[in-house]
Amino acid sequence: MAKTKLSPEEQVTEFITTSTHPLKDVIQALREFILEISTEISEHIKWNSPAFYYNGEMADFDPKEYKRDIAVLHLRKPGEILLVFPTGAIVKNDLGILEGKYADGRRMVTIKSMEDLNHKKDPLRTVITDWLDKIEK
């Protein structure tokens, strides 16, 4: 019998529930937090990790520019989650939360605990909202 393909949301749920990462509860909390920011944000698995993208209409672009991608989780060594913003350079970093100065425009946020996530929620919301305001619709 053929296995039914899971929806993108179900794939993310399966990824998290089967994860052995020690910050599994933080991953779930981060997921819920990002999705609550806007109905224009959806999730799927990309590069073997949960990822968040803009789900609305956009001007045409080369898919290799990753303009639709908001952020991808990278589960680093035990005790760290790296939230990678592939086009994070377009966002103002007045709050200093974004790390890195990569030539390709990537910026990142490291999260090490639930307390750390809770501390970074307001600046993260600002970054994601600013990103949504700047995309080419």
Q: Is 1 helix (H, G, I), strand (E, B) or coil?
A: coil
User: Alpha-carbon distance 81 to 78, whole Å?
Assistant: 8
Taking the domains of the chain in order of start, what are their residue ranges? 8-134
- Range 7-32 average pLDDT: 95
Fold for the domain defined by 8-134 = Aspartate Aminotransferase, domain 1 (3.90.1150)
Q: Which residue has the tokens 């910050």?
A: 23
If residue 9 lies in a helix (H) or strand (E), which one and from where to where? Answer: helix 8-18
For the cut 90, the answer to whether the pLDDT of residue 83 exceeds it is yes
Residue 94's pLDDT is 83
User: Alpha-carbon distance 91 to 44, whole Å?
Assistant: 22
Q: What is the mean pLDDT of the chain?
A: 89
For the cut 80, the answer to whether the pLDDT of residue 30 exceeds it is yes
Burial 82-118 (b: 16+ CB within 10 A, else e): bbbbbbbbebeeeeebbbeeeeebbbbbebeeeeebe
Strands in the chain per DSSP E: 41-46, 49-54, 69-75, 81-85, 107-111
For the cut 70, the answer to whether the pLDDT of residue 59 exceeds it is no
